[in-house]
Amino acid sequence: MSAWLFFHAFWVNGQVPFDCNGQFFIGVNGTGNSTLYAMNANPTGNGLLIFPPNLTVKSTNAIGFRKKDHLIYGYESGKIFTLDKNGLYSEITNVQVTPGVDYFGGDVSADGKYYVMVGGKTVNGVYQDVELVKIDLEDPQFGQTVLPFSGEIVRTFDIAFDPTNGLLYGLDVNKARIFILDSETGAVTTVFPSDPSGQVAGALFFDGFGNLFSYGTFDSPLKNTLYSIDKNTGAMQVIASGPGSGGGDGCSCPYTISLSKSVFPESVYSCSEVAYTFTIHNLTDSTLPGLTLEDHLPSGFQIVDLSQNLFGGQAVSGIGSGLLKIVNMAVPPGVFTVKMTVEVGDIPAGIYKNQASISGIPTLFGGDEKRSDDPQTLGQMDSTSLEVLELGFEGLAIFDTLCQGDTLWADASSYGQKFLWQDGSSSAVYPITQSGNYRVHVIAGCDTANIFYQIQSSFIEILEKAPYSIESGDTVTFFPIILNEGETIQYQWTDPLGNSLSCLDCPNPTARPLEYTNYLLTATNEHSCRDSIYFAVILDKTRRVYAPNAFSPNGDGINDMFYLQGKGTATVNYLKVFSRWGNLVYDGKNMAMNDDTHGWDGTFKEKKVQAGVYAWVAELVFLNGERQVFEGDVILMR
């Protein structure tokens, strides 16, 4: 009765409450006035439905919907105003605002007690929210509280209270993310990850199911995009586009009664059971009596069980029929479920859709009837879909190959619900350890079929090879011996050193390791059978460097040059030759070992030196980067 008197008081004063049907309102600011659109998402998820009337009103800034009187509240030029169903605009109080602060975002708390708005300004070159202003709507003097922002820096053009739990959300347009604001302290308590879908949005609001939405810019200067926001993760998704808002503010009236309907599982075979769940969201703050829940199931569906949570109503049709009808329900405020188990009969495969309804709803909360919404889709108030499957075959042959020593797990789970193998096993997955023929009888609802597995054997084996032994700097070519029960072989070598193999996918690579190395070969045939083995290479790192003890540079082509020789590959960083008095007669640099074209030819400054004994010293650099100095004497003979 008190609620009726409260609404009636506003009618007397000339303001008529909005009918709350879960719609949202977008104000498009013009010159001196605004157009207020009432909209909702199309059930197909394609576009927006605009509901009349579209009101021409004064500027609609920082607006929010109040469930206690079904009026829209907002702020403009230092005043709080109310707006009614017919566009009647009424200023109710002045606000003491902070000089230099702009107020763009506002909403009414979920309990209807406070009108709340946020104010921002530029601080140290960053435009950010700086305060939260609360107006007590239940105080005859409209008491005002100002709370400074704290926590992470954010900037929002709108805020919205979650109708299901009272949390206050904002959309940070600087970093394209939502955040949670403590309306008691002004602290930013939670920030969510940025999302590239989140552009500048002038409107943030909830629907009657507690889902979060925003309206504003997404790749369009019109600021006309509606997108959903996951209030638990911050993820955003574009839904539809509508009229351009010019960045105007928005709100919604989620304080209504809504119905959703889901099914589990979402696909079944005929002659199986599924569970439907009806969720009733009553966010009106009042127990609503005289409601009827009704669901006409598709032909061939039959109710076999029904939950006891009927809100004092009577199931005039239910178990044993294809019609659920519960009358005279009294649904209290909150979120509640009714569960129904249904048997899907022997019907053709296909998609079966149906939609429940709840009726007897007061006009103030949306009219007589509300259709159910499928919560798994973005479209609102759409049918719930169930896919009925069929096997589509009576017999199926599956050919596969079993590799020697392996177990093949034959998985028939995707073909049915019950299974009977030739040995009596009832598991969906069956282990096969040897080649042969296997059969499983599959039952899928009303359908049955046989699946035949024909399994052949295959193997591949790489024979072991003794370690290879080479000297430092040498190469070795691998010739693996492979036994293969197949037509092809794929080779895959692993080079632990990174660059010491000539190829990684050929049968006979050449290796030049600089240290002891195990090369892994994996051979695979066309049946996916594989074997792996290591090829070990042992490296002899002994430094064997030879220098002649005499040479005769007489031009006969025999022993005419003094140079260093040895096993393997090394670079002669320098070779110096000295006379017996210590004079440097030859200084060669950066020469290859074993190169008889580079060395000392028995001259000094292009003149032949005398025969005799000469001392030499050389530094060699080996392939692994190690350096070693060698020295000795050589006799020059004429």
Q: What is the mean pLDDT of each run of 10 residues along the chain (638 residues)?
A: 33 75 77 71 62 73 93 92 90 92 94 96 93 96 96 93 95 92 96 81 88 79 81 89 74 92 95 96 93 97 91 94 96 94 96 96 88 84 92 92 94 93 96 96 93 95 92 88 95 95 96 92 95 92 83 91 84 93 93 90 92 94 84 91
The answer to whether residues 462 and 523 touch, using CB atoms and an 8 Å cutoff, is yes
The rounded distance, in Å, linking the Cα atoms of 512 and 519 is: 11
Distance CA 288, CA 290 (A): 7
Omega before residue 332 within 30° of 0, cis = no
The amino acid at residue 162 is D
Residue 193, preceding peptide bond in cis (omega within 30° of 0): no
Residues with Cβ within 8 Å of residue 382, at least 6 apart in sequence: 43, 44, 45, 355, 373, 374
Buried b (16+ CB within 10 A) or exposed e, 438-477: bebebbbbebebebebebeebbbebeeeeebebebbbeee
Distance between CA 136 and CA 521 in Å, rounded? 78
Which DSSP letter does residue 185 get?
T
CA dihedral 11→14→18→24, nearest 10 degrees, is: -150
How far does CA 260 lie from the centroid of its chain? 26
Strands of 384-389's sheet in order across? 267-269, 384-389, 350-354
Query: What is the chain's Cα-based Rg?
Result: 43
Neighbours of 168 (CB within 10 A): 21
Q: Report the candidate in 554, 533, 547 with the shortest Cα–Cα distance to residue 601.
A: 554
Strands of 272-394 (E only): list them. 272-282, 288-296, 301-306, 314-317, 323-331, 334-344, 350-354, 357-359, 369-371, 384-389
Q: How far is CA 590 from CA 541, 576, 584, 630, in A?
A: 22, 12, 18, 15
Q: What is the pLDDT of residue 1?
A: 25
Q: What is the spatial order of strands in the sheet that 323-331 belongs to?
A: 314-317, 323-331, 288-296, 357-359, 369-371
DSSP state of 414: G
The pLDDT value recorded for residue 47 is 63
Element (H, E) at 538: strand 530-540
Distance CA 21, CA 48 (A): 15
Cβ atoms 119, 98 nearer than 8 A:
yes
Beta-bridge mates of residue 371: 357
- Tell me which residue of 170, 190, 189 sits closest to 178, measured CA to CA: 170
Q: What is the DSSP letter of 365?
A: G
The confidence score (pLDDT) of residue 626 equals 82
SS3 424: coil
Q: Considering Cα of 279, then 282, then 287, then 289, what sign does the dihedral take?
A: negative
Q: Give the Å distances, CA to CA, from 254 to 251, 329, 337.
A: 9, 21, 19
Place of tokens 């009647």: 88
Q: Whose structure tokens read 């998985």?
A: 411
Distance, C-alpha 36 to centroid of its chain: 37
Are 359 and 329 in contact by the 8 Å Cβ rule? The answer is no
Q: What is the pLDDT of residue 11?
A: 42
